[in-house]
C-alpha cells in the first residue's frame, strides 16, 4: 500500500462529498432570499409557504454539511502536515478569515433566522437571511482565495524552507481566482435551481393539491437554472486563458510547458510532471454536461400557459436531469484539483513532500473511517431531503408557531 495514494484518495473523497453540500447550500440560500424578500414586499401567502418549505430543506442540508466540513478539516491536519508546515503561513490566512468572519457569522445569522420566526419583525428577520446569504458568499470567496493560491502561489517568499506571505493584495488579484469564483457561484445557483425545479416537477407529476405553489417554484427553478447554465459556460470558458498562462502543463504541452518542466526537473529532480488523464477526462465530460443542460432554455417557452405541466414529459425531463449538475460540479472540481498534480502548491510543493509521515495501515484506517462517516452523512442528508420534500409545503416545521400542532394545510402568512 502507498501512503501517498491513500492520502490523495481520502482528500478526493472528503472534498468531493463536502462540495456537494456546499453547492446546494449556496444555491438554495440565494433562492430563499428571493422568496422571502418577495413575501415581505407582496405579503402573498404563497411566498411565505415557499420560504418555509425550501428553508426547511436548506437547514437540513446546512447542518449535515457542517459535519462533513469538520471531517474534511480533520483529514487536512492528519494527512497533510507537510502542507501546513511549508505553506501554512500563507494558505492559512484566507482559511482563518473564512472561519472567523464568514462561517461563524453565517451560523449565528442562520440560528437567529431559524428561531426568529414570530419573534422578530419582518424586516429584521429578512435582514438575518440576507446576512446568511452574504456570509455564505464570503465563505465561498475566501475558500476560493485559498484554493487559488494553491493553483498559482503568489505574494509570498520562501525563507528557511517556509513560505511567508508578503503581499496580501496579491491573493485577491490572483489570475486563477476571479473567473473560478464566478464559475463556482453560478454552478451553485444551477444546482439550486435544478433542485427546486425537480422537486416541484415531482409534485406536479403526482398532482398534489398545491398545484399553484409548485407551479410557481417550478418557474423560479427553471428560470434560475437556465440563466445560471449560461453564466457557468461563460465563466468556464473564460478561465482557459488565465489558467493556461499560470498553469502551462494543465492543458497539455507546448513551449511554455516544456520550459517549466525543464526548470522543475533541475530544481526537484526527474519526475512525471504531466497531470493525469483524469483531469482532461473530467473537464471533457463536464463541458458535455454543460452543453446538455443548456437545453433548459428550450423548456422555458413551455411555461407559458402551463404547457410544461400539461404535456408532462418536460416535468420528467427536469426530474431525470437532476443528477447532471451534481456530476458536473464534481467533474469540474476533479479537473481543477487533479490538473495541478503532482503539486499541492503548483510549482512550489510536490504532493510527496506534503503528505504526513504515517504508516499505510493508519492511512487506510482513516480513509475507510472517514469515507464511511461521510457516506453516512450524505445518505442521511438525501434521505431527509427526499422525505421532507415529499411531505409538501402544507405545513413545514420551520416557521410554525411555538406550541402549534402540525396542520394538513395552513396557507396563512408566516407572520401575524
pLDDT in tens, 224-239: 999 999 999 999 999 9
Between the ranges 38-42, 346-350, 388-392, where is the mean pLDDT highest?
Answer: 38-42
Per-residue pLDDT reduced to its tens digit, 22-53: 999 999 999 999 999 999 999 999 999 999 99
* Residue the block writes with cell 451553485: 188
Per-residue pLDDT reduced to its tens digit, 193-203: 999 999 999 99
pLDDT of 407 reads 62
SS in 3 state form for the chain? CCHHHHHHHHHHHHHHHHHHHHHHHHHHHHHHHHHHHHHHHHCCHHHHHHHHHHHHHHHHHHHHHHHHHHHHHHHHHHHCHHHHHHHHHHHHHHHHHHHHHHHHHHHHHHHHHHHCCCCCCHHHHHHHHHHHHHHHHHHHHHHHHHHHHHHCCCCEEEECCEEEECCHHHHHCCCCCHHHHHHHHHHHHHHHHHHHHHHHHHHHHCCCCCHHHHHHHHHHHHHHHHHHHHHHHHHHHHCHHHHHHHCCCCCCCCHHHHHHHHHHHHHHCCCCCCCCHHHHHHHHHHHHHHHHHHHHHHCHHHHHHHHHHHHCHHHHHHHHCCHHHHHHHHHHHHHHHHCCCCEEECCCEEHHHHCCCCCHHHHHHHHHHHHHHHHHHHHHHHHHHHHHHHCCCCCCCCCCCCCCCCCCCCCCCCCC
**Nearest in space to 26 (alpha carbons), one of 107, 159, 139, 110:** 139
Cα separation of 303 and 274, whole Å?
Answer: 48
Residue 145 pLDDT greater than 80, yes or no: yes
**Partners of 164 in the beta sheet?**
157
Residue 62 pLDDT greater than 70, yes or no: yes
pLDDT of 169 reads 93
- Ordered by start, the domain boundaries in the chain are 3-153+168-390
**Partners of 349 in the beta sheet?**
345
pLDDT of 76 reads 77
Per-residue pLDDT reduced to its tens digit, 228-280: 999 999 999 999 989 888 999 888 778 888 889 999 999 888 888 888 888 88
pLDDT of 403 reads 66
pLDDT band with cut points at 50, 70 and 90 for residue 411 = very low
Amino acid at each position: 500500500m502507498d501512503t501517498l495514494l491513500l492520502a490523495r484518495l481520502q482528500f478526493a473523497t472528503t472534498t468531493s462529498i463536502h462540495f456537494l453540500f456546499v453547492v446546494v447550500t449556496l444555491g438554495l440560500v440565494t433562492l430563499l432570499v428571493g422568496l422571502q424578500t418577495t413575501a415581505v414586499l407582496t405579503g402573498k401567502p404563497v411566498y411565505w409557504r415557499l420560504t418555509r418549505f425550501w428553508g426547511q430543506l436548506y437547514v437540513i442540508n446546512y447542518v449535515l454539511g457542517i459535519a462533513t466540513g469538520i471531517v474534511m478539516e480533520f483529514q487536512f491536519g492528519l494527512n497533510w502536515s507537510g502542507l501546513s508546515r511549508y505553506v501554512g503561513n500563507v494558505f492559512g490566512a484566507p482559511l482563518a478569515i473564512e472561519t472567523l468572519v464568514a462561517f461563524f457569522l453565517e451560523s449565528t445569522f442562520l440560528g437567529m433566522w431559524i428561531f426568529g420566526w414570530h419573534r422578530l419583525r419582518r424586516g429584521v428577520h429578512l435582514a438575518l437571511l440576507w446576512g446568511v446569504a452574504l456570509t455564505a458568499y464570503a465563505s465561498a470567496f475566501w475558500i476560493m482565495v485559498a484554493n487559488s493560491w494553491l493553483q498559482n502561489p503568489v505574494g509570498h517568499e520562501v525563507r528557511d524552507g517556509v513560505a511567508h506571505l508578503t503581499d496580501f493584495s496579491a491573493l485577491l488579484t490572483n489570475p486563477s481566482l476571479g473567473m473560478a469564483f464566478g464559475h463556482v457561484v453560478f454552478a451553485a445557483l444551477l444546482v439550486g435551481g435544478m433542485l427546486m425545479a425537480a422537486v416541484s416537477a415531482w409534485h406536479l407529476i403526482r398532482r398534489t393539491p398545491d398545484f399553484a405553489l409548485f407551479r410557481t417554484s417550478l418557474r423560479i427553478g427553471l428560470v434560475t437554472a437556465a440563466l445560471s447554465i449560461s453564466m457557468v459556460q461563460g465563466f468556464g470558458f473564460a478561465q482557459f486563458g488565465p489558467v493556461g498562462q499560470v498553469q502551462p502543463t494543465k492543458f497539455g504541452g507546448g513551449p511554455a510547458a516544456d520550459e517549466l518542466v525543464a526548470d522543475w526537473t533541475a530544481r526537484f529532480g526527474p519526475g512525471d510532471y504531466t497531470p493525469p488523464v483524469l483531469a482532461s477526462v473530467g473537464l471533457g465530460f463536464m463541458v458535455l454536461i454543460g452543453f446538455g443542460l443548456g437545453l433548459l432554455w428550450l423548456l422555458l417557452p413551455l411555461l407559458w400557459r402551463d404547457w410544461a405541466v400539461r404535456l408532462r414529459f418536460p416535468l420528467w425531463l427536469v426530474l431525470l436531469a437532476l443528477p447532471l449538475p451534481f456530476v458536473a460540479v464534481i467533474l469540474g472540481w476533479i479537473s481543477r484539483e487533479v490538473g495541478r498534480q503532482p503539486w499541492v502548491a503548483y510549482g512550489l510543493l510536490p504532493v510527496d513532500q506534503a503528505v504526513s509521515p504515517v504508516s499505510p495501515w493508519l492511512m487506510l484506517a482513516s480513509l475507510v473511517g472517514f469515507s464511511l462517516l461521510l457516506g453516512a452523512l450524505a445518505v442521511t442528508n438525501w434521505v431527509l431531503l427526499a422525505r421532507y420534500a415529499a411531505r409538501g409545503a402544507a405545513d413545514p416545521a420551520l416557521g410554525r408557531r411555538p406550541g402549534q400542532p402540525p396542520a394538513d394545510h395552513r396557507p396563512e402568512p408566516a407572520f401575524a
